Structure 1
Amino acid sequence: MNKKVVVFAPHPDDESLGCGGTLLKHKSLGHEVHWCIFTDMSASDAYTQEQKKQRVNTVEQVAKLYGFDSVINLGFQPAGLDNVPMGQLLNALKDTLESIKPDTLYLPYAFDVHSDHKVVYQAIISVTKTFRAPYVSSIICYETLSETDYGLSPLNTQFQPNMYVDTSEYIEQKHQILKCYESEMQTHPFPRSFKAVEALEVLRGSQAFVDAAEAFVILRQRW
């Protein structure tokens, strides 16, 4: 079966931190993989023209390294999704989903600390009700370093995986892609460091009894 996969990234790099190895595995199996980015530096005055140009180059480079079948940039302002009317987000998502008709979706976790992640999660859940998007059979949340692990709450909302993907064969390739995001990756003990990425891969691998893995929470799975 030729799966159609869409990974939703509030910001470029979330896709690689959260499920980079898994996306590479999908591509190796011959699946279609599409990358939908919600925010764009060009929509904000908080970045220089040089930064905006560099981000465009980075997105193009990352897309090429993954071999994505398409890149959809919704173009909203970073760190401002909670100010966008939900109807506007839903319309943009509907158009994206209808153009691809994917069966598998990867999205950020509901209780990530970043407001953009929370909004993306809620918008996707709203637009993928079974009677609205019957072609979607799998909805899966990934974890993002410095967002998922910092979503502290006295309630039991912490990330508790119920699915693991053996990514042992794709670790080096994933790390090479992450090097494209050098401005986001800093040195240990910063949570988005290569040491932290590797530590999480090893931890999830040990839980799944493989060398390295990525962990997920399945929200919907229809067989």
Structure 2
Amino acid sequence: MNTALIVAPHADDETLGCGGTILKLVEQGYQVHWLLVTGMTRSTGYSDAQITARKAEIQEASTAYGFTATHELKLPPARLDMLPKGDIIGPICKVVAEVKPSLVFTVYRNDAHSDHEIVFDAVMSATKSFRYPFVKKVLAYETMSETDFGMKPEDGGFRPNVFFDISGYLNKKLDILDIFESEVHDFPFPRSRTALEALARVRGVQCNSEAAEAFMLIKEIV
């Protein structure tokens, strides 16, 4: 059985970056696991109402995708840079060792959000070939509102070299995006149905399909 692990620093990153790909992999028979690195808690300033709403969104999205399992680390959002690296790498390694994915998706390192950079580095540590030989491919996805705003002078930009045709999955991806009500707003806000569809159409043009999601290949073992 092929297994994929989708690593998301925050709930909705997975949908923005690879929602259509997730749906496609599930339909192809993959066991797809969702790893949420951060989570809302009262200690990080979220209200009980926000926590309850987010829990419901995660459950609804998980069901809509058909994930085999959802793994929540509940680390503090926007505060990962305050934690010892081992406190992030360790829990991710534990999930990787448990799931044993052959395919891993993670965020792009040079996104604007510091959590994304930290999660990328942690995933690289958690997919070292000599410790996790079952991991055969690692791909980085783009996240609207983060990848496109990552303007570090030393960064060459997100330059995709792998494309997944999601022509038959785009509408459902956009419907799942709507589940995250607090994160989605009207166009021209980047996390909107219109913006996400526009990106999918552009990526589709780049690989001769109606709609696509784009990735940077980080590692592949053949």
* Aligned equivalent of 1:73: 72
Rounded to whole Å, the distance in 1 between the matches of 2:8 and 2:70 is: 11
Cα pair distance change 1:215/1:43, threshold 3 Å: farther
Work out whether residues 185 and 191 of structure 2, in 8 Å CA contact, stay in contact via their aligned partners in 1: yes
Rounded to whole Å, the distance in 1 between the matches of 2:156 and 2:45 is: 32
Task: In structure 1, give the amino acid aligned to 2:111.
Answer: D
| TM-score, scaled to structure 1 | 0.97
Matched, 1:196 2:195: yes
Q: Which runs of 5+ in 2 are unaligned?
A: none
* Aligned equivalent of 2:40: 41
Rounded to whole Å, the distance in 2 between the matches of 1:152 and 1:199 is: 21
Q: Which runs of 5+ in 1 are unaligned?
A: none
Rounded to whole Å, the distance in 2 between the matches of 1:142 and 1:6 is: 13
Work out whether residues 201 and 213 of structure 1, in 8 Å CA contact, stay in contact via their aligned partners in 2: yes
Rounded to whole Å, the distance in 2 between the matches of 1:74 and 1:45 is: 14
- Report how many aligned residue pairs link the two structures: 222
Work out whether residues 43 and 77 of structure 1, in 8 Å CA contact, stay in contact via their aligned partners in 2: no
Work out whether residues 8 and 15 of structure 1, in 8 Å CA contact, stay in contact via their aligned partners in 2: yes
Question: Stretches of 4+ moved more than 4 A in 1?
Answer: none
* Aligned equivalent of 1:94: 93
Secondary structure of the 2:175 match is helix
Q: Deviations over 1:172-204 (max 9, x none)?
A: 111111110121111111111111101100000
* Aligned equivalent of 1:127: 126
Matched, 1:143 2:142: yes
Rounded to whole Å, the distance in 1 between the matches of 2:155 and 2:85 is: 27
Cα pair distance change 1:43/1:221, threshold 3 Å: farther
Matched, 1:162 2:170: no
Work out whether residues 42 and 48 of structure 2, in 8 Å CA contact, stay in contact via their aligned partners in 1: no
* Aligned equivalent of 2:59: 60
Work out whether residues 18 and 142 of structure 1, in 8 Å CA contact, stay in contact via their aligned partners in 2: yes
Task: In structure 1, give the amino acid aligned to 2:8.
Answer: A
Task: In structure 2, give the amino acid aligned to 1:14.
Answer: D
Cα offset for 1:156? 4.0
Cα pair distance change 1:175/1:194, threshold 3 Å: same
Work out whether residues 44 and 78 of structure 1, in 8 Å CA contact, stay in contact via their aligned partners in 2: no
Cα pair distance change 1:43/1:115, threshold 3 Å: farther
* Aligned equivalent of 2:115: 116
Cα pair distance change 1:4/1:45, threshold 3 Å: same
| TM-score, scaled to structure 2 | 0.97
Cα pair distance change 1:69/1:154, threshold 3 Å: same
* Aligned equivalent of 1:31: 30
Rounded to whole Å, the distance in 2 between the matches of 1:182 and 1:79 is: 20
Task: In structure 2, give the amino acid aligned to 1:118.
Answer: E
